[in-house]
Amino acid sequence: MPAVLYTVRASCQDLQQRGRFLSWLTPNHVAEVMTGGATSVRIVLPDRESETAPAVVETQYVFPSRKAFDTYVRDHAPRLRADGLKHFPPESGVTYARQVAEIATELSAE
Does the pLDDT of residue 110 top 80, yes or no?
Answer: no
The Cα–Cα gap between 94 and 73 comes to 21
Grade residue 5 by pLDDT with cuts at 50, 70 and 90.
very high
**Which pLDDT does position 83 carry in this prediction?**
96
Distances (CA, A) of 43 to 56, 59, 67, 74, 91: 10, 4, 23, 23, 24
Chain centre to alpha carbon of residue 97: 9
- What tens digit of pLDDT does each residue of 20-39 get? 999 999 999 999 999 999 99
pTM of the model: 0.93
For residue 27, whether the previous peptide bond is cis, meaning omega lies within 30 degrees of 0, is yes
- What tens digit of pLDDT does each residue of 50-96 get? 989 999 999 999 999 999 999 999 999 999 999 999 999 999 999 99
- The answer to whether the CB of 41 falls within 8 A of the CB of 33 is yes
The domain 4-102 is classified under which CATH number: 3.30.70.100, 3.40.50.10190, 3.30.70.3040, 3.40.50.1780? 3.30.70.100
